[in-house]
Structure 1
Amino acid sequence: MPALYRFHPPALMVLFADLASHARGQSKVFVGTAGSVLERSNADGFRFYAHQFYDGDGKKRERYVAGPIGAPEADATARALRLAVAETKAATTSLRLLGREGFALVDAKTYATLASLYNHGVFQAGGVLIGSHAYGLLLNQMGVAGAPYATEDIDIARREKLAFPALPEASFLEMLQATGIAFVEVPQLDARQPATSFKERGRSRFHVDLLVPAAGDNFQVVPVPELRAHATALPYLSYLLADSQMSLLLAREGCCMVRVPLPERFALHKLMVSQLRADRGGKSEKDLFQAAVLLAVLGDRHPGAIDDALRWAPLSILGRLKSAVRLLRQLLASDHPRAWDELNPE
């Protein structure tokens, strides 16, 4: 059986840690490419600084930065921007190297979307990235490479009201549109219900879902007033969101910190979700495989983490959780016995 994962060499993990240190020091990140700072003049001869870059939709943009050239305040603003551009471009060399060596990098649209949410303070305030993109971040953080994954979904969740220092001026939709991507609300099947999903205009499948925990087993639409948006409430999401951490998001355009669940809760939640899906097809298989990879790493490198996460699993799901665990026997029992033993305590 092919190995579920492989470890990254220590030298690459040192590079990863350096990038994380760089990312933690960024109050704002570029939404798109770093671009360059140019000197421009208008028809009246007014000379000013401009920032030219490619946005999240791949379109070339140019925005006014400061002026007039030669004014101390304008020159200082341009110097600061040039420094940020240089630092980001220096980091992209390392990012490309990590991508070639098997670290999970997100695509340009995903990075721009998550970078915009970072700039608006969503992750700092308690918003959590979940789904397959979070899985990729967790693999990177744990120092392993797994099978590549592909998704056009971005899932953003919040456990409780986001703790912004001050309410953001932009709505959630406006935060997404700040990427340059033409996001629109996705109408519900019941036209009386407000949208909880946002997609790129046109035939694109790229979309963002806003999620919150459900009080019971019912799917509901819940207002998220601090984002001037609504979210879909999902069962057992509170278990996943009970503990979270900031983790490094990698892309060829740059990097930033986003909040993700703990890997052990993420893995067990994947097992729960695999059994709750009405159509247990490809998505359930993906859930089970991603859970198996994380559980294998946790059992091999972090003994006790799975056991701790199991203690907090909702009693109402334990029967289905055990059914999902049995489906992992072939993946875990022989090659990753520690993980299998923690999942099946005597």
Structure 2
Amino acid sequence: MPISELPLIIQTSYAELIDQLRVQAASDFPEGSTFRKRTISGKVYWYVQEPTGPTGRPAERYLGVDTPERRKAIENGQRAKADADSRRAIVRALKGAGLPEPDGLTSAVIEALAAAGVFRLRGVLVGTVAFQTYAGLLGIKLPGAAIRTGDVDLAQDYGVSVAINESIDAPLIEVLKTVDQDFRPVPSIAGPNVVSAYTRPGGYRVDVLTTNRGADRDEPVNLPSLKTDAVALRFLDFLLRDTVETAVLSRFGTLVNVPAPERYAVHKLIVSTLRKETGESAAKADKDVVQAGLLIDALFAKRRNSDLEDALREAAGRGPGWRERLEAASERLDNEQKDPFAELLSKSAPG
């Protein structure tokens, strides 16, 4: 289907919101904080050391991967705090232009997760809430049917959770209770103390997911940095690689991590083929394909074919099972999407 681009001023405003949120994230530290970078396994990461207080010197905290944007935000954050009123005005303008916004409860949940440090510790929004942010990120309009949701899906790579020597201050359920005291853990068949999902009256859910590179497993695993358990899923490591920062249009905007749009599209096609195998509804598989198709159209419209081609090459290179799922799912794309997608998929063939 034809993609409608947002006016340039709206695209610029969204980019400005992300810049201001980065500044705000780096300025949430007391005066005298020291920022340091370290090289680990060839990658450079930023950390912050807050000054000694009445209870002693706090532990050094992880900020994230070194990028030009983060360096700029740290420099600005050391000088001044971002203006929350300015961000609110930008958010209102973006909503007025038709960019997707989460419902009030979802906004509050995401704000609470951010305040607790979930996204700083490389938690990632996946699912439809993440998909909503691609409108601003890619500068496109998204149809309402593709962006409706009543849940939050939160993910973190298992290796990241174990490797980061830091955690949120309180268990995830306590973070959610700051939003609504009626949040409750969903009982798990693995045991009463194993919890990977949380719900409140009315059926609203927060599900926690993590990576699984081995055989399928039924029991959730623990994510120490997020103080929760999580369901381990195949294919999720592909989705969580090379995430990007976007803004959720909450009250003042919230900086979050989401999958790269090209990976989201490829992953949704693969996941759509799993729905029948796992007994899930056909409607979910249809929504997967619709979201993937919209992103495929958008990536072509924004001349980001090479990003999609790279993601396809990596996915198809992971084995014949991956390629078979992609080929099967691509048959359900709209006619306008099938041919260009098939051409890119053919380029990813071995040899």
TM-score w.r.t. length of structure 1: 0.75
How far off its partner does 1:164 sit? 5.2
Q: Distance in 2 between matches of 1:288 and 1:324?
A: 7
Q: Distance in 1 between matches of 2:26 and 2:110?
A: 12
Partner of 2:325: 320
- Please tell me whether the aligned partners of residues 171 and 229 of structure 1 are also in contact (alpha carbons under 8 angstroms): yes
Secondary structure at 2:273 match in 1: helix
Secondary structure at 1:259 match in 2: strand
**Is 1:298 the equivalent of 2:299?**
yes
- Please tell me whether the aligned partners of residues 186 and 196 of structure 2 are also in contact (alpha carbons under 8 angstroms): yes
* Length, aligned pairs only: 285
Alignment deviations for residues 111-167 of structure 1 (CA, whole Å, 9 cap, x no partner): 111111111221122111100011111222000011112111111111123365633
Partner of 2:122: 126
Partner of 1:139: 135
Partner of 1:44: none
Partner of 2:310: 308
Query: How many percent identity over aligned positions?
Result: 28
Q: Distance in 2 between matches of 1:291 and 1:181?
A: 36
Partner of 1:23: 21
Q: Distance in 1 between matches of 2:215 and 2:287?
A: 23
Gaps of 5+ in 1: 31-82
How is 1:159-308 mapped onto 2 (pairs within 5 angstroms)?
Answer: 159=157, 160-162=159-161, 166-189=166-189, 191=191, 194-200=194-200, 202=201, 204-220=202-218, 221-251=220-250, 253-278=251-276, 279=280, 281-301=282-302, 302-308=304-310
User: Higher mean Cα deviation, 236-245 or 87-96?
Assistant: 87-96
- Please tell me whether the aligned partners of residues 288 and 328 of structure 1 are also in contact (alpha carbons under 8 angstroms): yes
Partner of 2:3: 5
- Please tell me whether the aligned partners of residues 139 and 294 of structure 1 are also in contact (alpha carbons under 8 angstroms): no
How far off its partner does 1:303 sit? 2.0
How far off its partner does 1:7 sit? 0.3
How far off its partner does 1:27 sit? 3.2
Partner of 1:43: none
- Please tell me whether the aligned partners of residues 210 and 232 of structure 1 are also in contact (alpha carbons under 8 angstroms): yes
Secondary structure at 1:8 match in 2: coil
- In the superposition, relative to structure 1, how do residues 12 and 308 fare at CA in structure 2: closer, same or farther (>3 Å)? same
Q: Distance in 2 between matches of 1:185 and 1:7?
A: 41
1:99 to 78, 95, 98: 95
2:335 to 330, 334, 339: 330
Q: Distance in 2 between matches of 1:190 and 1:299?
A: 44
- Please tell me whether the aligned partners of residues 121 and 164 of structure 1 are also in contact (alpha carbons under 8 angstroms): no
- Please tell me whether the aligned partners of residues 152 and 206 of structure 1 are also in contact (alpha carbons under 8 angstroms): yes
- In the superposition, relative to structure 1, how do residues 179 and 280 fare at CA in structure 2: closer, same or farther (>3 Å)? closer
- In the superposition, relative to structure 1, how do residues 7 and 151 fare at CA in structure 2: closer, same or farther (>3 Å)? same
More strand by share: 1
Secondary structure at 1:304 match in 2: helix
TM-score w.r.t. length of structure 2: 0.74
- Please tell me whether the aligned partners of residues 264 and 309 of structure 1 are also in contact (alpha carbons under 8 angstroms): yes
Alignment deviations for residues 38-70 of structure 1 (CA, whole Å, 9 cap, x no partner): xxxxxxxxxxxxxxxxxxxxxxxxxxxxxxxxx
How far off its partner does 1:300 sit? 2.5
Q: Distance in 1 between matches of 2:329 and 2:27?
A: 40
Q: Distance in 1 between matches of 2:225 and 2:91?
A: 34
Q: What is the letter of the counterpart of residue 253 of structure 2? A: C
* Structure 1 residue ranges (4+ consecutive) displaced by more than 6 angstroms after TM superposition: none
Q: Which protein shows a greater Rg?
A: 1
